[in-house]
Amino acid sequence: MSEENKIDFNDLQKKAVSHPLVTDKFTADPSAHVFDGKIYIYPSHDIDAGIPFNDNGDHFGMRDYHVYSMNSPDDLKAMDLGKILDIDDVPWAKRQMWAPDIAKKDNKYYFFFPAKDKDDIFRIGVATSNSPIGPFIPEPKYIEGSYSIDPAVFDDNGEFYMYFGGIWGGQLQKYRKNKYNINNDLLSDKESAFGPIVAKMSADMKSFDSEPKEILILDEKGNPLLAGDNKRRYFEGPWVHKFNNKYYLSYSTGDTHYICYAIGENPLGPFHYIGRILEPVIGWTTHHSICEFKGRWFLFYHDSSLSKGVTHLRCMKVVEIFYDRNGHISTVYPYRK
């Protein structure tokens, strides 16, 4: 939103449907999972890097990760369990540790994170641990063939898939068929929009077992969403979950500030656009995860209310979501009228 300086933030907090889960640090992009009956949240850690706002997101200068836990999404706060990874621990990484995710396989935990390499190109790394709270040991090199941002790993009955990619600062527009070219740029409005990228993970969870593939998101007529369809097309922040044997791909529309979703029959797509999960929040970005806990479903997201609208200093939140008889998700309005 462009008029944060005119907002009464005390009044906004009263109207908010949820409140910051952490108040002593700035947290964003929450990736929530249930391990052994407890919710663990892996957000990015916002800091003030002293860099002016720009469309490449250089002001998002995050350099480490903490893990948080909750006994229930009904709790009013999340407990900080400590730092699990620092950029100084990662040999290939130069800066900007953005939105992460985690997966559990065979009692081992795999923490996936994007960062810019020494050439300022985003890659995706992995760190491993025997515990959801670490310590996590990063691999010395990033995942071969990985690029862009926002890794999200989905477990489909023991088969793991990584979804990733974001345009603008996330550099997805620089790629065509997984090949980087600095001269590549955004698509024209009439071209099919960029989709998120998906790759099947190898058995060791440290490499891709398939070549990354772009996912199609289709409109109501079965045609790919267009790049100019800013209110529906993919921008960044993919997340996949399963409900009633259907695959749900949710994502951020970026510059129009919606969390939208599409439904498919296969984790590789195509997915058919359905609607919005979350209306715009205070702050430029919107990023989420969806987590089931004891038969209830929850949307974890962030806004900039804690920093009174400062775009790159955000706070994570949670709200319950509901499905109708058709399996469609009711839209969440983050602030009451």
Say which of 29, 46, 150, 303 is annotated catalytic. 29
> In which residue are the tokens 């009956």 written?
37
Strand, coil or helix: 86: strand
One-letter amino acid identity for 253? T
Query: What is the residue-wise DSSP string for 205-242?
Result: SSSBSS--EEPPEE-TTSPBPBTT-TTTS--EEEEEEE
| C-alpha distances out from residue 186 to 122, 269, 276, Å | 17, 23, 24
Contact 26, 313 (CB under 8 A): yes
Closest CA to 125 of 108, 143, 137: 143
CA within 13 Å, CB half, 157: 5
Alpha helices in the chain (DSSP H): 9-15
- Cβ contacts of 290 within 8 Å, gap of 6 or more: 32, 239, 241, 248, 250, 297, 298, 299, 300, 321
Q: Which one of 150, 214, 229, 236 is the catalytic residue?
A: 236
Query: 61-99: buried (b, 16+ CB within 10 Å) or exposed (e) per residue?
Result: bbbebbbbbbeebeeeebeebeebbebeebeebebbbbb
Q: Is the peptide bond before 20 cis (omega within 30 degrees of 0)?
A: no
- CA dist list (Å): 99 to 68, 79, 119, 177: 15, 19, 20, 23
How far, in whole angstroms, is CA 135 from its chain's centroid? 22
Segment (H or E) for 274: strand 271-278
Element (H, E) at 93: strand 93-95
Residue 236 among the catalytic residues:
yes
**Is 29 tagged catalytic?**
yes
Contacts of 81 (CB under 8 A, 6+ apart): 66, 67, 68, 69, 133
Q: Could you give the residue numbers annotated as active site?
A: 29, 236
